[in-house]
Structure 1
Amino acid sequence: MADVGVRPARRADAAAVAAVQVRAWRQGYRELLPAAVLAEVTGPEAEQAWRDRWAESISTPPSPRHRVLVAVANDLVTGFAAHAPAEDPDQDPAATAELLTLLVDPPHARAGHGSRLLAATVDLLREDGAETLLTWAFEEDRVLRTFLGSAGWAPDGAARTLDMGEPVRQIRLHTDISGA
């Protein structure tokens, strides 16, 4: 049985987090994003930039409520999640948090890492007093929407369109984490 769990990310995890992100995006977003955009955000230069950004996010977060967690199996980073106070203008950042990302390395998918990351995120956010958790998802991302839907998430009616050389629509999902 593998030794699995979730822990706060360490600066030394930044390279593994960036590598997981790139691999997960290459596989999961290949049908959701324009090919040129995906190649640009997952190429070697981009991976180095992500590594630097994750190192900074882990080492010097903007607030104590900005966190990066990693899923591990036998000391190998298999996925990660990041959350922060919600910044959407229609949300109260004291009561609402945003799941900025939750990604699992494709070779380790469907092994419970995503569920553990989500549960740990919710536990921390409840301690912070958050009552609602939201995230933005590509409208066509059936994998993420099914995963979150099985955990009680639903669209809240908000949507946005990103310009990626062609329009790519995202919808906002939310869930009650108040425990009430």
Structure 2
Amino acid sequence: MEKVTIRHASPADADAIAHFHVRVWRQTYRDLAPPEIYAALDENLRRNTWREKLAVADPDQIVLLAELEGRPVGIGAAGAPSDAIFGDLGEIKNLCVDPDVKRQGIGRLLLSRLALHLRERGFPGVGLSVVDGNEPAIAFYDAIGGKRAGEYTDAGPIWRSRNIVFVWADSLVL
């Protein structure tokens, strides 16, 4: 296998990220999301979201793109907390890895780099939420030392999902 590269995403990456995000999201949530939500969270919606996110000049925000042979195989995004449940922790807002290349350290590397960015921005720790029922992601966060810190309903763009919150109090995720 070729070497995976990780770089900061730019606005020019929005279309590729949206396509990748929808493909991975649909594989992950096909049995978890209600059918109408599954259909509605399409590439158009994701494209607009990623274009907006990548156009913002927020020093707390970071979006990383993992690529293999020029194609996206992972995305990660982090920034200031979006919900009170995270308190003063920085929030990992997106972490997606192509199922074809899982278990090769890409998710861990993305998460580590996102956490390092948040620590450098002064956040005392890192939090993220995962949809209840996404067992592979839950097992991953358990395995890398995430501590379960509660549950909440994520308002999401159109899906109000029940989520489990994981935290790393020292911002070091490895």
Aligned equivalent of 1:13: 13
Aligned equivalent of 1:28: 28
- Residues 156 and 10 of structure 1: CA distance in aligned 2, closer, same or farther (over 3 Å): same
Aligned equivalent of 2:72: 77
1:101 Cα deviation from its structure 2 partner: 1.0
Paired residue type of 1:38: Y
Q: Secondary structure at the match of 1:13?
A: helix
When the two structures are aligned, how many residues end up with a matched partner?
172
Which range moved further: 63-72 or 153-162?
A: 153-162
Contact (CA 8 Å) 2:151, 2:162: kept in 1 or not?
no
Runs of 4+ in structure 1 deviating by more than 6 angstroms, as ranges, are: none
Contact (CA 8 Å) 1:162, 1:170: kept in 2 or not?
no
Structure 1 residues 104-115: aligned runs within 5 Å: 104-115=97-108
Structure 1 residues 1-180: aligned runs within 5 Å: 1-42=1-42, 47-61=43-57, 63-89=58-84, 91-93=86-88, 96-160=89-153, 168-178=161-171
Instruction: Give the distance between the partners of 1:4 and 1:167, measured in 2 at CA.
Output: 34
1:92 Cα deviation from its structure 2 partner: 4.3
Q: Secondary structure at the match of 1:137?
A: strand
Contact (CA 8 Å) 2:67, 2:73: kept in 1 or not?
yes
Instruction: Give the distance between the partners of 1:91 and 1:161, measured in 2 at CA.
Output: 12
- In structure 1, list runs of 5 or more residues that go unmatched: none
Indicate the RMSD between aligned Cα atoms, in angstroms. Answer: 2.5
Which range moved further: 48-57 or 133-142?
A: 48-57
1:75 Cα deviation from its structure 2 partner: 2.5
- In structure 2, list runs of 5 or more residues that go unmatched: none
| Cα deviations by residue, 1:39-91 (Å, 9 ceiling, x for unpaired) | 1113xxxx123112212211224x21011111112222211011111133354
TM-score using structure 2 length? 0.86
1:15 Cα deviation from its structure 2 partner: 1.2
Instruction: Give the distance between the partners of 2:155 and 2:44, measured in 1 at CA.
Output: 24
- Rg larger in structure: 1
Identical-residue share of aligned pairs (%)? 29
TM-score using structure 1 length? 0.84
Instruction: Give the distance between the partners of 1:110 and 1:141, measured in 2 at CA.
Output: 16
